[in-house]
Structure 1
Amino acid sequence: MVERVTLYRAPTTEADADAVAEWLDERVDAEVTVEERLLGRIADDDLAESFAGARVISPHDRGTGNTMFGVRRYEERALESPDRAGGVIYDGLAVQDALRRRLETPLDHLQVPLVDRVIGTWGDHDGRWHKRVAVLGQPAVVSVPGLYEAPAKPEAYYEAKQSYALLSGDAPPREVLEAEVDGEFLVAEDPRTSEAVRGYVLAAYHYLETGEAFCENRGCRLYDAHRQPALIEAQLREPAFCEQHADRYGVPSDGE
């Protein structure tokens, strides 16, 4: 039984860990606390090497890792100054293992680091890496940029983004994409980030508490969306939960 949940901030992102913790505290029978950024607190040379070793080299190559000196130095700087990191996908299970080895992780104390890194898992069914929002377990790793990058956006989004970049040389502002693309989706620094990340943190708790992973009902906060419209439906639309999970986690403000 989970008695404590510790949520770690990701200060370079839009995710408000305190707001997420307050929401979670209303729904679970556990003490919920928030601490500062985990990666900065436990950073050492070995952790930088672990991140270097967890780098995804190619979308279709199961092997990971580049521990050359320059890559290790990059990871050291990224741990110290996270605003300098980006453009890399990491094996989420390897990252989880590296954090597990540095934390005391009894099963009654769930630890959930919000991270500013993009994580992925290997798909044996199709022989390629897939970006993920969360890797459940102990600790549970929740990737904030994964909210924007893991679930696929409408095809028109990528076409509009490419056209804008060809004309201007820059990435288009969010409002430009929203005006040109039919359908809702999350983008970097989206003000809805904190709202969207809540369901993944709750899923981490639910998994450790019950052994059940994500819900199969796409209208539930515990649903693991693979496309942006489904993520919007699951995390930002009412009702918040399917009937089964509303009985366990729903409160009146969820619209149940």
Structure 2
Amino acid sequence: MVETVTLYRAPTTAADADAIADWLRDRIDAEVRVRDRLLGTVGDDDLAEAMAAARVTDPYERSTGNTMVGIVRYEERALESPERAGGVVYDGHAVQRALNARLPDEQGLDHLHLPLLDRVLGTWGDHDRRWHKRVAVLGQPAALSVPGLYEAPAKPEAYYEAKSKHALLTGDAPPREVLEAEIDGDFLVADDPRTTDALKGYALAAVEFLESGRAFCDDERCRLYDAHRQPGVVRAQLHAPAFCDTHAARYE
């Protein structure tokens, strides 16, 4: 059983770790703590090199990493000043291993460490031989990527149709902000005010995974559903009912 959950803030994002912690306290029988940014707490020269080694350099190439001096220096600056980071996808499991080796407290299955991260995480898909962005990489620690919430789930079809049409007419890709303003549809965008609410179900899934080995629910109406498209994320995380019957009995 998970007895303690430690959430770590991501101050450069719209995610409110304290609000997520309050929501978890109402649903699980565990002590829930909140601490400052994990990458800032455990950041060191070795972590900077580990982050450089975890960089995805080609979406269709399994191997990762660029540990040239300039890249490592970039990662050092990003650890110190997270507002400088961006535009990079990292191997989520490699980041998870690097953080696991640096967790400040016990690493047993009774104490879940749950950092909110300002980095985009991905996992390799053996089925299609490419990297896929993820919202959550579960385990110990369970890493929740705040920018992954906006970037990983696919947007509505109308978004991609408008993008292709614009590129066909102008020869250039339209700015993301323009498309987001023009397209009707329910999807999350960077710094969305719904970010905190949308992440609550993923935080609970991290607890569920450590306790049972099964994180996600098959019911698309449940907050434990792992939606692969933005409309599905909005429906599962932000619309009633909050849970399927099985998980409602456990968490409500």
TM-score past 0.5 threshold: yes
5+ long unaligned stretches in structure 2: none
Which amino acid in 1 is paired with 2:57? I
For residues 69 and 87 of structure 2, the distance between their equivalents in structure 1, rounded to whole angstroms, comes to: 18
Q: Counterpart in 2 of 1:253?
A: none
Which one of the candidate residues 171, 177, 199 is aligned to 2:175?
Answer: 171
For residues 72 and 25 of structure 1, the distance between their equivalents in structure 2, rounded to whole angstroms, comes to: 39
Q: Counterpart in 2 of 1:201?
A: 203
Over the matched positions of the two proteins, sequence identity in percent amounts to 69
Q: Counterpart in 2 of 1:234?
A: 236
SS in structure 2 at match of 1:202: helix
For residues 111 and 180 of structure 1, the distance between their equivalents in structure 2, rounded to whole angstroms, comes to: 39
Residues 170 and 119 of structure 1, relative CA distance in 2, 3 Å threshold: same
Q: Counterpart in 2 of 1:32?
A: 32
Deviation at 1:158, TM superposition (A): 3.8
Residues 155 and 109 of structure 1, relative CA distance in 2, 3 Å threshold: same
5+ long unaligned stretches in structure 1: 251-256
TM-score (norm 2): 0.93
Q: Counterpart in 2 of 1:187?
A: 189
For residues 246 and 113 of structure 1, the distance between their equivalents in structure 2, rounded to whole angstroms, comes to: 25
For residues 161 and 118 of structure 1, the distance between their equivalents in structure 2, rounded to whole angstroms, comes to: 22
Deviation at 1:18, TM superposition (A): 0.4
Give the 4+ runs in structure 1 shifted more than 3 A.
158-164, 166-173, 176-179
Deviation at 1:11, TM superposition (A): 0.2
Which one of the candidate residues 138, 146, 149 is aligned to 1:147?
Answer: 149
For residues 160 and 190 of structure 2, the distance between their equivalents in structure 1, rounded to whole angstroms, comes to: 15
Deviation at 1:108, TM superposition (A): 0.5
Give the superposed CA RMSD. Answer: 1.8
**Range that drifts further, 145-154 or 98-107:** 98-107
Asked if 1:17 is matched to 2:26, the reply is no
SS in structure 2 at match of 1:32: strand
Q: Counterpart in 1 of 2:70?
A: 70
